[in-house]
Amino acid sequence: MIKIRLVLFAFLAVVSLHSFAADIKSELKEVILANQNSVIESNLKTFLATSAPDINIVDEFPPFVWNGKDAAARYFKDFQDLLTKFKVSDYKLDLKDPTFIEQDKNVAYAVFPVSVSYKVGNVKAHTDTGYQAVVFKKATSGKWLIESSTWAVSNKTIK
C-alpha cells in the first residue's frame, strides 16, 4: 500500500510541475505576443504596459541598444520610424513556444523562436527567422513584464 501511495505521490508531483511549466510558458508567450503586436499595430499604450520601466532592448537596427530613461518609448518611436522610412507593409509575426524557460521567484528567462515576414515597398518580400531572448520580471501587480529583450537573426531571405 505504501508503494502505491509513493507512486501516486510521484505521479501527482510530476503532473503538477508539468502544469506549472505549461502555465508560465503560456503567460510569457502572451506577454511577448501583446508586446510585439503592439509595435506592429502602432499601439504605444500596450507596448509600455508590457514593458518594465527599466527595460533594455537589443535589436538589429541603429542604435541597436535602447536602455535608460524612456527606453521603451524611444524604441517604439524608432521602430515606427523604420517602418515608415522603408515603407514596410504586410508585417506578420510567428512566435513559437519557448525552447527554454528558467524561472527564479519573480524573474524568468525564456528563448522564443520567431519568424517575421514583411514587404519593403511594393517589391521585396522579406522573411527573417531568429530568436528572441527575454528576461521577464513580475510586477507587484503579479503581471509579467519584459525587463530585457534581445533579437538575434539566424536567417534572412529576400525574394
Alpha carbons 142 and 126: distance in angstroms, whole number = 38
Residue 17: pLDDT over 70: no
Alpha carbons 101 and 134: distance in angstroms, whole number = 10
Amino acid 114: pLDDT: 97
**Structure pTM?**
0.82
Residue 7: pLDDT over 60: no
User: Where in the chain are the domains?
Assistant: 2-158
Distances from the Cα of 145 to the Cαs of 17, 92, 138, in angstroms? Answer: 23, 23, 6
DSSP 8-state secondary structure symbol assigned to residue 96: P
Q: Which three cell numbers stand for residue 20?
A: 506549472
pLDDT interval class at 12 (50, 70, 90): very low
Distances from the Cα of 5 to the Cαs of 8, 14, 17, 18, 55, in angstroms? Answer: 5, 14, 18, 20, 47
User: Could you tell me which residues come within 8 angstroms of residue 98 by beta carbon, excluding any fewer than 6 positions away?
Assistant: 25, 28, 29, 110, 111, 112
Residue 28: pLDDT over 80: yes
- The correct answer on CATH 3.10.450.50 for the domain covering 2-158 is yes
pLDDT tens, residue by residue, 37-94: 999 999 999 999 999 999 999 999 999 999 999 999 999 999 999 999 999 999 999 9
Q: Is pLDDT larger for residue 80 or for residue 1?
A: 80
pLDDT tens, residue by residue, 95-147: 999 999 999 999 999 999 999 999 998 877 889 999 999 999 999 999 999 99
